[in-house]
Amino acid sequence: MPSFFRKMPSAAWVIVLMMLVFRAASARYLTLGNIVNIIQQNSILLILATGATLVLLSEGIDLSAGAVLTLSGVTCARVMNGLMSSGSSDGHAMIAGVVVGLLTGALMGAITGGLIAIGKLPPFIASLGMMGVGGSLSLVLADSTAIYVNNPVFSFFGQTLDKSIHLPLMQYLSMPTFIAALVFLVVWVVLYHTAFGRYIVSIGGNEQGARLSGVNVWLRKWMVYVTAGILSAISGVTLAARLEAADSIVGVGWEFDAIAAAILGGTSFAKGKGGIAGTVLGVLVIGVARNGLNVAGVPSLWQPALMGTIVILAIVFEVVHARWREAVR
């Protein structure tokens, strides 16, 4: 088999396969509008999945990402609404709200990271506990409903540009996509061009070795979770801007999509293998699947079951494929 096929990531295979199936099911599938749509709808997931990738690279897992996403959206919306009702300008209220939202994420990440890096708890149990804590706080702070935000400056960061700039083609550009691209770029630089990034990979690859060669392992691990918390918060705040509301359960299950995207992109749990470029492909697998089910007119009732099955099968395929590639090399 030509090496091109062997090198093609399994996520790419899955995407091609799904596109063929969905194209057969609906002629509206492979249009420019729809492809842009897929990118716009999944930008926020990419931000979350970037965080999940960093955590997986350090040989950890963060099941609290969805709850942190929700909670930071809620704190952001509450602070913003509070300031606006006491007379602050939209701009100031937005800045304060976003800062509080991001701090919420950093704080949750700092606690989860502290439990894992200093308390030596297994990551899945520490983050699962924090998922309970964060989910509960979101319900309490948002009174179990959604907090609506009426702030045009804030909403701008969740919209497509045709709402604010009246030029052709502006509907193809959206702020969440810009934010995701910017976040991706920053994380890329941090991961591949700073000492911190190399430490993350070295801890994931061989924690004992990293420690012996003088890496301050607990500090770096802790920083990974703080970073992941901030990335979850960026997703949450951007999502709140897009929906013009912070819902108290909006993030339930997002962590699974994010972790799945990272794994589908070739980041394997343990051994520090993988990277964030693959994660973009992983997010696309999820985005293409969800969009395809919609465009093909699959009833929403079927979607949770089908999405879950597709994702699990894709993960199984990725793992088996990776093993096969190792074997033939």
What's the one-letter identity of residue 95? Answer: I
Please, which residue, 213 or 300, has the CB nearer to other proteins? 300
x/- contact string, 262-291, with other proteins (CB under 8 A)?
-x-----xx---------------------
Residue identified by tokens 């910017």 is 182
Interface residue with other proteins, options 180, 210, 223, 259 (CB under 8 A) = 259
Task: Point out which span in 40-48, 74-82, 90-98, 259-267 binds other proteins (CB under 8 A).
Answer: 259-267
Q: From 7-15, 139-147, 211-219, 227-235, give the range in contact with other proteins by CB under 8 A.
A: 139-147
Q: Which stretch binds other proteins (CB under 8 A): 81-89, 133-141, 214-222, 282-290?
A: 133-141
Nearer to other proteins, 115 or 239 (CB): 115
Determine, following the binding rule CB under 8 A, whether residue 91 of this chain makes contact with other proteins: no
**Distances from the Cα of 97 to the Cαs of 17, 102, 182, 192, 211, in angstroms?**
43, 9, 20, 31, 39
Q: Which of these ranges, 99-107, 226-234, 286-294, 302-310, lies near other proteins under the rule CB under 8 A?
A: 302-310
CA atoms within 13 A on the CB side of 307: 23
Residue closer to other proteins by CB (options 16, 320) is: 320
Residues 62 to 81 in contact with other proteins, rule: CB under 8 A? 63
Work out whether 181 is an interface residue with other proteins (CB under 8 A). Answer: no
C-beta of 135: minimal distance to other proteins in Å? 6
d(CA 79, CA 96): 7
To other proteins, the closest distance from the beta carbon of 86 in angstroms equals 27
- Maximum alpha-carbon separation in the chain: 68
Buried b / exposed e across 109-132, counting CB within 10 Å, b at 16+?
Answer: bbbbbbbbbeeeeebeebbbbbbe
Instruction: Report the alpha-carbon distance of residue 261 to residue 236 in Å, rounded.
Output: 18
For residue 310, the SS3 value is helix
- Scan residues 11-30 and list those touching other proteins (CB under 8 A): none
Q: Per CB under 8 A, does 253 bind other proteins?
A: yes
Distances (CA, A) of 131 to 182, 291, 324: 27, 28, 35
Q: Does 180 bind other proteins (CB under 8 A)?
A: no
Query: For the residues of 216-268, what is the DSSP string, one character each?
Result: -HHHHHHHHHHHHHHHHHHHHHHHHHHHTEEETTTTTTHHHHHHHHHHHTT--
**Residue 11: what residue type?**
A
Amino acid at 122: P
1 or 301: CB nearest other proteins:
301
Compute the distance between CA of residue 184 and CA of residue 207 in angstroms, rounded to an integer.
26
Task: Single out the segment in contact with other proteins by CB under 8 A; choices: 156-164, 203-211, 236-244, 300-308.
Answer: 300-308
Query: Is 304 one of the binding residues for other proteins (CB under 8 A)?
Result: yes
Stretch that binds other proteins, among 35-43, 87-95, 121-129, 145-153 (CB under 8 A): 121-129
Smallest gap from residue 312 Cβ to other proteins (A): 5
3-state DSSP assignment of residue 148: strand
219 closest CA partner among 123, 125, 118, 120:
118
Measured from the CB atom, is 171 or 309 closer to other proteins?
309
Binding site for other proteins (CB under 8 A): 61, 63, 115, 119-122, 124-126, 128-133, 135-137, 139-140, 144, 253, 256, 259-260, 263, 269-270, 301-309, 311-312, 315-316, 319-320, 323
